[in-house]
Amino acid sequence: MSRRSLLTLGFLLLCSLTLCAASRQFTVVIDAGHGGNDCGAKGLISYEKNLTLRYALALGSAIEKNFDDVRVVYTRRTDVFIPLHERADIANRNKADLFLSVHINALAGGRISHGFQSYTLGTGERTGSKGLQENLEVAKRENSVIFLEKDYKTRYKGLENSAEGDIMFELIADKNRERSVELSRILQTEVCRATGRVNGGAHQNNLAVLRLT
């Protein structure tokens, strides 16, 4: 992404959230998905955990270089396992105005895709039996890391990885949800415009790391 494109994207993102940070420094928490014994998606020559870390650090560095009034906080800077609740705790402790969790998809059979998708908290906008199953599979895949944590049954009470009725959390009221959805749409449009990647759409789903922030 060129410097000009980065500045344009950054301006649009920060503008949509300026009112939240009027009296203090704007804080962005960048979360490199997976890590340590949680490899994430596995490609032919790489693991998701390594790529998300590389991109998260690069994104944070670019923000720090171009926006000196923005504070960047990382959930991890090395290849370590960070439980989902700790990632959310980092964001909440630092009073994050914006939380970005970086993930990378993999396709079976060596297929290649060059796209970009974004997710915000929700029950999933896809409808019909096929759409609901797609929502469930995304939630199961990204929430499955919970089962690597020793006390997951207590900490994530109500979450199971087996059936649709159990995987979907009972959503709490989120006063920022509408703004998160709008930001996701802006992010989706601008990133695809700047990089030429296929627009995979702005989606909503019941992802634990989003629900806890």
CB 204 within 8 A of CB 125: yes
Burial 50-68 (b: 16+ CB within 10 A, else e): bbbbebbbebbebbeeebe
Q: Which tokens belong to 18? A: 């300026």
Provide the domain count of the chain: 1
What's the average model confidence in pLDDT over 143-161?
52
Residue 109 lies in a domain: yes
Q: Which range, 68-82, 123-137, 180-194, has the best average confidence (pLDDT)?
A: 68-82
> Does residue 126 belong to any structural domain of this protein?
no
Residue 155 lies in a domain: no
For residue 64, the model assigns a pLDDT of 96
Q: Which amino acid is at 213?
A: T
pTM of the model: 0.67
Residue 152 lies in a domain: no
Residue 131 lies in a domain: no
Intra-chain end-to-end CA distance of the chain, in Å: 28
Confidence class for position 76, pLDDT limits 50, 70, 90:
very high
159 is a domain residue:
no
Residue 60's domain is classified under what CATH number? 3.40.630.40
Decide if 129 is inside a domain. no
Average pLDDT, the chain: 70
Query: What domain range is 38 assigned to?
Result: 3-121+174-211
Q: Is residue 84 part of a domain?
A: yes
Which of 91, 119, 101, 118 minimizes the C-alpha distance to 27? 91
